[in-house]
Structure 1
């Protein structure tokens, strides 16, 4: 058997094993289909939660999710920046196949303005189908509170037209809805004023509003099955918070370090309030909660932001930041909690990533799963010690130029230029990607080269050069 056949066989066998374990070995522990909540942080690094080794910032409620569920140590985002990562999460397609593969588009899409700069962005279209759309078809009431970031400049790409029954938050195409102190807020297909923030005032904090909207959604819909996507902005730049929170009296911390920690504090506090609402609504055993971040830390590569996230070791000692294909750019905190079903306090080393969420959610809902680039993680939620055969996890990105990455078993490969050399790392012993061993494993390099070629499909928004 050739190495290529072996790679394909390994991927197919792992996928089939997952499917059969759900169908034959993992009967539904409850007759009632669970509610599903996905909580997403923005630019929070692998090492920013104390459950993942953070020593300076305290995250008791994210830690609670981990203590009462499973913590994945090799969980990956969909991309190293916001929009494509969320596209992979919502559509179940990796960035070699999905519509939005960067925060900007090379072609097609729609042109708009960010401040005075003209920008071309991709957006989801009617040809794209989201996890919310599939769950709504399966009888779930669906809601998004917070950041969408998949509308680009297309008025038809709002959440309400792509599967969400309810939406409160901000849109890329409407500047007045953005930021931590927005003057307006999208409420389904209309805009509402936030008078407390008018004329530059800082009266209502976006993180707090997202939490309040999430709690309101749960309270109103607790009698029916629901899917809730809670998409926080924190701790994305600019660094701003109502106050320094519990970090005000650190005498050696700079103000921006206190602010960054406080942004995470307010998000973590909101997660605790959501958990309390679930418990008070008697939905603990009927609700699966996922938590992750959309990419690595440091929103922009400025000296200030680099200093702050290095101070906190936000990437957990991994190489790279946001926009990097190295582990620090795409490996993130990934936890799941479902009391009575997911064993509490467990750890899984199985590599998982955002395209897995759609098939997992539909598996939980007992709904048919369309073709996707992910696999259902339900077997690993119910039995976190289960091991998986190696499968290909794929990423591509276009800033500042076309780049690719693959995770296959213990191997991690990165290509920094189109047609350029492949870097190869054994992340089982070198998660820091400090030693490129490509020249020692030409057979593995050749296999991953073929996988990259197979997984990349050009699109109207991201065409290959002539």
Structure 2
């Protein structure tokens, strides 16, 4: 029996049909490439949002974001303080592999690969507002040299602690705010008129309007609710905001009114952001991430316990206990992420770079520590971390599944906690599990790049 053969004209049709299918698939993928908006608050605690248990501070818009998206309960910041946390987020490497692991000055070298440069190469228009902290003016580290088509905000981290600055930066151009000029006593002037957060939001919304017809990445790294430590000391009770709003008549200390008002102001702008996306018919093709750079602060006369800012967690900013590094993460993508879902998937800032690459359809670099959590967002099988690692000024922490090891000083022994049974890290069980402690000590050693 002769083998079956296709007619000659049908043989020609096969590669054409195959090519047509590929083109259709590519077009579908391109059509589904979402805009990416990554919003990060500054020093917002795990317990500061209503959807994470806050009972007093009002955050209706962020809570609605959680109802329409996915809420992570085991997400971790890149670090327990600002600059290294941002470095981890942008590079996809945890603090055992980054050049700095504390708030020392750092400037991105020319040619650094970051989530922004990768998205720009993938065809995204890239923009950012807020606090940068990874490159001073006239250095290789400024945003315009690190993949940003547009930047508006602070470059120097120290200046970002002032909500009424005399100037901000538009790309590499200084933009003066003359109404905010500081008097000779370095006190807040009653003539100050421009609150930096409001200006940052305005610029972010304008960027979206201008780039609505092309794929864009917007990084909105707000400074709220960081304390105002102008000149190294707290001013105006440390929590600077134009008005206390709905908290004005509360019988609270002024710093606590300011703290609550700052968070509710940020919540207002998250509502405006979603409304803008709906107006521009971009909501269904935009994925929004909302998080915080580290745990809650106890600065500017604000007390962590006043609003239970760390929720059930122990510690706060500058600690490597859960309260210093476990942060909210809410992700919304209509039609893709199942609404009103919660996940206990263990993830961290260094996972954002590969997640963004997955969204953009590009391959992430090899030398990263992150694992994309896009499968978790889409309810698909998800790969998990064996360990997560942090270090800060002689402190070390490592999470491995249910276990968390913490060293509070370089000369101190490891503490061990079972987070499934003890989320508040109240019971050190190191003596009961010496083999686990030994294993985690080895994992801590292996998590760090050898250096002088």
TM-score (norm 2): 0.86
- Correspondence for 1:10: none
In the alignment, structure 1 residue 364 sits paired with structure 2 residue 359? yes
TM-superposition CA deviations, 1:270-319 (whole Å, max 9, x none): 1111111111111111111001000111154x7x223xx21100001311
In the alignment, structure 1 residue 232 sits paired with structure 2 residue 229? no
Q: Given the alignment, which residue of 362, 374, 378 partners 1:378?
A: 374
Shift of the 331–174 alpha-carbon distance from structure 1 to 2, 3 Å rule, reads closer
Partners of 1:162 and 1:454 in 2: CA distance: 30
- Partner SS, residue 407 of structure 1: strand
Q: CA RMSD in A?
A: 1.8
- Partner SS, residue 435 of structure 1: coil
In the alignment, structure 1 residue 431 sits paired with structure 2 residue 426? no
TM-superposition CA deviations, 1:409-438 (whole Å, max 9, x none): 011111122353111100011010000111
In the alignment, structure 1 residue 130 sits paired with structure 2 residue 114? yes
TM-superposition CA deviations, 1:296-352 (whole Å, max 9, x none): 11154x7x223xx21100001311010000000001111100000000000000111
- Correspondence for 1:72: 72
Q: Judge which range, 197-206 or 279-288, deviates more.
A: 197-206
Shift of the 388–137 alpha-carbon distance from structure 1 to 2, 3 Å rule, reads closer
In the alignment, structure 1 residue 194 sits paired with structure 2 residue 177? yes
Partners of 1:124 and 1:448 in 2: CA distance: 32
- Correspondence for 1:451: 443
- Correspondence for 1:267: 266
Q: Following TM superposition, by how much is the alpha carbon of 1:255 offset from its aligned partner in structure 2, in angstroms? A: 1.8
Partners of 2:390 and 2:96 in 1: CA distance: 7
TM-superposition CA deviations, 1:166-210 (whole Å, max 9, x none): 0000111784x7610111110001101113323443211111111
Give the conservation status (yes or no) of the 8 Å contact 2:79–2:95.
Answer: yes
Partners of 1:258 and 1:173 in 2: CA distance: 25
In the alignment, structure 1 residue 305 sits paired with structure 2 residue 302? yes
Shift of the 29–440 alpha-carbon distance from structure 1 to 2, 3 Å rule, reads farther
- Partner SS, residue 291 of structure 2: strand
In the alignment, structure 1 residue 254 sits paired with structure 2 residue 253? yes
Q: How many residues align?
A: 407
Give the conservation status (yes or no) of the 8 Å contact 2:132–2:157.
Answer: no
Structure 1 stretches lacking a partner, 5+ long? 1-27, 105-120
Q: Following TM superposition, by how much is the alpha carbon of 1:148 offset from its aligned partner in structure 2, in angstroms? A: 0.5
- Partner SS, residue 323 of structure 2: helix
Q: Given the alignment, which residue of 154, 164, 168 partners 1:170?
A: 154
- Correspondence for 2:288: 289
Q: Given the alignment, which residue of 148, 155, 168 partners 2:139?
A: 155
Shift of the 30–344 alpha-carbon distance from structure 1 to 2, 3 Å rule, reads farther
In the alignment, structure 1 residue 212 sits paired with structure 2 residue 202? yes
Give the conservation status (yes or no) of the 8 Å contact 1:154–1:173.
Answer: no
- Partner SS, residue 324 of structure 1: coil
- Correspondence for 1:323: 318
Partners of 2:302 and 2:219 in 1: CA distance: 28
Shift of the 323–174 alpha-carbon distance from structure 1 to 2, 3 Å rule, reads closer
In the alignment, structure 1 residue 141 sits paired with structure 2 residue 125? yes
Structure 2 stretches lacking a partner, 5+ long? 1-27, 183-188, 229-238
- Partner SS, residue 185 of structure 1: strand
Shift of the 213–80 alpha-carbon distance from structure 1 to 2, 3 Å rule, reads same
**Greater C-alpha Rg:** 2
Give the conservation status (yes or no) of the 8 Å contact 1:151–1:173.
Answer: no
TM-score (norm 1): 0.84
Partners of 2:402 and 2:158 in 1: CA distance: 43
Give the conservation status (yes or no) of the 8 Å contact 1:48–1:54.
Answer: yes
Partners of 2:136 and 2:152 in 1: CA distance: 17
- Partner SS, residue 31 of structure 1: helix
- Correspondence for 2:19: none
In the alignment, structure 1 residue 183 sits paired with structure 2 residue 166? yes
Give the conservation status (yes or no) of the 8 Å contact 2:133–2:157.
Answer: no
- Correspondence for 1:115: none
Q: Following TM superposition, by how much is the alpha carbon of 1:390 offset from its aligned partner in structure 2, in angstroms? A: 5.2
Shift of the 257–425 alpha-carbon distance from structure 1 to 2, 3 Å rule, reads same
Partners of 1:63 and 1:349 in 2: CA distance: 18
Give the conservation status (yes or no) of the 8 Å contact 1:153–1:173.
Answer: no
